[in-house]
Chain A
C-alpha cells in the first residue's frame, strides 16, 4: 500500500511566482518528513525536512508546512526560479523511509 502520496504528477509555474507541492500520508507513526529534489541521471538530494512536533520549517526560499490532523504536508517555493525545475519527492520516515511518486516542477522564465 502506498503510504505516501503525491497526487499531482506535474506542476508548471512562472518564474517569480509561488510553487506549492503537496503530499499526503496514511501512517500516523511517521515522525519525520522530508523533501528531496531530483535531476535526471542523478540521485535525489535532500532539500528540507520537518519533525512531526512542528508545523512549519523555513530554509531560504523553501518552506514546509505540516498538518498532522489532515496527514498532509506541502512545500512552498517562493520565488520560484528556472533552476528549481526538477522532480520533487516527498518522504516520510519512522525506521524505514517511504517516498511518494514525485511531482515534476517546471518553472518557466
Chain B
C-alpha cells in the first residue's frame, strides 16, 4: 500500500542544472499538488493538477514546470536550478479539490542547489 511516492528523496544540484522530481500515487486520485517547505514559510503551493492533462499555477510557480501525462504521475521540473530553489519538496494527492477530502503527502524530496 504505497500511497504517494516521491523520487528521489535527496538530490544535490549545481546552479544551472536541470532535474525532474517524480510523484506517483496509487489511489486513483484526481488532484495532485507540488509544495515546497522553507523555514518560517510553511508549505507553499507551486503547481497543482485537477486531472490528467491539466495543470495550474499555485503561489510560487516561477522557475518550475509540471506535467500530468498520466493520472497517477505528476512531474515537477526545474529547467535551470538556482540556490533559491533549495528546499524540501512535497507532493500530495486527493480525490477532489472541493469537498470533504484530505490530501495525502509523500515523504518529501530534499533538494540542495549549490
Contacts and interface: CB of A to CB of B under 8 A. Distances in A.
Interface residues of A, number: 26
Interface residues of B, number: 29
B48 interface: yes
A99 B35 CA distance: 10
A65 interface: no
A89 B94 CA distance: 17
Contacts, number: 71
A99 B44 CA distance: 7
Contacts of A44: 43, 90, 105
Given A32-B99, A43-B4, A49-B102, A99 B107 contact: no
A89 B90 CA distance: 14
Given A32-B98, A43-B105, A98 B59 contact: yes
Nearest to B48: A96
A95 B50 contact: yes
B91 to A, nearest CB: 8
Interface string A77-109: 000000000000101011111111110000000
Contacts of B58: 96
B105 A97 contact: no
A96 B100 contact: no
B98 A95 contact: yes
A51 interface: yes
B33 interface: yes
Interface in A28-79: 31-32, 34, 36, 41-46, 49, 51
A55 to B, nearest CB: 16
A6 B14 CA distance: 34
Interface of B: 4, 33, 35, 40-45, 48, 50, 56, 58-59, 90, 92, 94, 97-108
